[in-house]
């Protein structure tokens, strides 16, 4: 969900790297700057590094190594990424220390401009979101593609969110992502603060909150770094503190998407003590030139409403409702 903006002119090298002319000082990006520092610390010349890589079956030219450390190109094809794995060992770097800095592949062919909005852009009206996110390392999340996403909200007898259970299917766009970020914004004052709990294939890392607003940003750490193309199934919950109902009632549950998702399922379960009035599905596209859509929903036998969306574009998908008059 998080990314960067590149403006490049592309040319493919013979060994599978991509040359770029980048107006945003490519030499200062994390990958080339880290590689430069590691090469300088090793005391090895580029020719000596080329020779040692060749001994392990990786044919990378001195010119390519020079392009990598200057930011003119970066490894993208499988052969280059395999060589990069050996290069990390050769330079006595931790595994994935370089591969984790590559981010998603740069555009090829005529797609010379790639723009991936930041996660903070999902909340333009909430200044606290970028403030909280600034204390987290977002590079790993940049390399994770959300293939499938399932949210299940549980609404308590007081009409507030008591639990959100989430299941995600993630795929690594690049080498080495090992964590992702979760942002929850209650959007209305008086709603309870939720606490993250890991369930499957993750553990809770750092958690940051914004005063008494209920806004929370959490880091979910995977069991280990993912290889490029690898998938994982992640499950976690956000739970309200037992016995502390909110001062106001919830009237909407939604998910904001900054990048397309293949499948999204949203379920909202209501307590028999607090059943909603006129629940409906809504979709608000990120492109404001497109009109939002809205359609009525009915509760199932277990007092649950749900929506299923396929090939979800950037925007917001949710369920909204009212409450009976007191």
Give the CATH number of the domain where residue 241 resides.
2.60.40
Query: Tokens 């020079």 sit at which residue?
Result: 66
For residues 197 and 285, membership in a common domain is answered with yes
Task: Identify the residue with better confidence: 124 or 210.
Answer: 210
pLDDT band at 313 (very low <50, low <70, confident <90, very high): confident
d(CA 253, CA 285): 16
Between the alpha carbon of residue 59 and those of residues 44, 72, 87, 88, 285, the distances in Å are: 17, 19, 12, 16, 47
Residues 6+ apart with CB under 8 A from 147: 169, 170, 171, 231, 261, 262, 263
pLDDT for 296: 96
Between the alpha carbon of residue 218 and those of residues 44, 114, 137, 205, 251, the distances in Å are: 41, 27, 11, 7, 24
For residues 220 and 134, membership in a common domain is answered with yes
pLDDT band at 26 (very low <50, low <70, confident <90, very high): low
Residues 6+ apart with CB under 8 A from 156: 162, 240, 245, 271, 274
Closest by alpha carbon to 182, among 213, 209, 201, 155? 209
| DSSP H helices in the chain | 30-42, 46-55, 62-70, 78-90, 128-133, 139-142
Contact 199, 141 (CB under 8 A): no
Query: Tokens 């002119």 sit at which residue?
Result: 9
For residues 217 and 165, membership in a common domain is answered with yes
Query: Tokens 């995600």 sit at which residue?
Result: 168
pLDDT over 70 (residue 54): yes
For residues 160 and 221, membership in a common domain is answered with yes
For residues 70 and 169, membership in a common domain is answered with no
For residues 94 and 129, membership in a common domain is answered with no
Last residue of a domain, one of 115, 144, 160: 115
Helix, strand or coil for residue 56?
coil
Last residue of a domain, one of 74, 90, 115: 115
For residues 135 and 282, membership in a common domain is answered with yes
Task: Identify the residue with better confidence: 190 or 116.
Answer: 190
pLDDT over 50 (residue 96): yes
For residues 33 and 148, membership in a common domain is answered with no
Last residue of a domain, one of 115, 145, 168: 115
Altogether, the residues listed in the chain come to a count of 326
For residues 141 and 247, membership in a common domain is answered with yes
For residues 190 and 311, membership in a common domain is answered with yes
Residues 170-209: tens digit of each pLDDT: 999 888 899 998 888 776 655 667 899 999 999 999 998 8
pLDDT for 244: 65
For residues 98 and 162, membership in a common domain is answered with no
> Whole-number mean pLDDT of the chain?
79
Q: How many structural domains are present in the chain?
A: 2
- 134 backbone φψ class: left, alpha, beta (φ>0; ψ -120 to 50): alpha
Residues 6+ apart with CB under 8 A from 46: 39, 62, 65, 66
Range of the domain at 92: 5-115
pLDDT over 70 (residue 260): yes
Mean pLDDT calculated for residue range 40-58: 89
For residues 130 and 239, membership in a common domain is answered with yes
Indicate the range of 151-165, 187-201, 248-262 predicted with least confidence.
Answer: 187-201
* Highest mean pLDDT: which range of 14-28, 116-130, 157-171, 200-214: 157-171
Residues 6+ apart with CB under 8 A from 298: 279, 305
* Highest mean pLDDT: which range of 69-73, 91-95, 113-117, 166-170: 166-170
pLDDT for 263: 93
Closest by alpha carbon to 145, among 104, 183, 186? 104
pLDDT for 113: 39
Give the CATH number of the domain where residue 82 resides.
1.10.260
């Amino acid at each position: 969900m998080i990314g960067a903006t590149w403006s490049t002119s592309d040319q493919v090298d013979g060994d599978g790297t991509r040359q770029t002319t980048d107006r945003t000082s490519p030499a200062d990006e994390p990958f080339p700057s880290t590689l430069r520092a590691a090469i300088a610390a090793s005391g090895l010349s580029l020719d000596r590094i080329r020779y040692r890589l060749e001994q392990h079956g990786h044919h990378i030219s001195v010119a390519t190594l020079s392009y990598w450390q200057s930011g003119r190109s970066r490894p993208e094809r499988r052969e280059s990424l395999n060589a990069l794995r050996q290069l990390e060992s050769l330079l006595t770097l931790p595994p994935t220390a370089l591969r984790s800095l590559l981010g998603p592949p740069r555009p090829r062919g005529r797609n010379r401009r790639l723009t991936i909005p930041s996660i903070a852009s999902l909340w333009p009206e909430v200044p606290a979101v970028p403030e909280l996110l600034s204390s987290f390392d977002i590079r790993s999340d940049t390399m994770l593609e959300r293939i499938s996403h399932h949210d299940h909200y549980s609404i308590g007898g007081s009409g507030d969110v008591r639990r959100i259970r989430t299941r995600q299917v993630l795929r690594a766009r690049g080498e080495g992502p090992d964590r992702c970020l979760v942002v929850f914004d209650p959007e209305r004052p008086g709603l309870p603060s939720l606490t993250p709990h890991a369930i499957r294939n993750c553990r809770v890392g750092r958690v940051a909150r914004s005063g008494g607003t209920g806004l929370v940003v959490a880091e979910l750490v995977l069991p280990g770094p993912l290889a490029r193309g690898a998938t994982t199934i992640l499950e976690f919950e956000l739970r309200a503190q037992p016995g502390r109902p909110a001062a106001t009632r919830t009237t909407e549950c939604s998910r904001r998407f900054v990048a397309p998702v293949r499948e999204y399922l949203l379920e909202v379960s209501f307590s028999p003590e607090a059943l909603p009035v006129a629940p409906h599905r809504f979709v608000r596209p990120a492109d404001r030139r497109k009109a939002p859509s809205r359609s009525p929903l009915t509760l199932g036998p277990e007092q649950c409403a749900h929506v299923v969306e396929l090939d979800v574009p950037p925007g917001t998908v949710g369920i909204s409702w009212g409450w009976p008059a007191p």
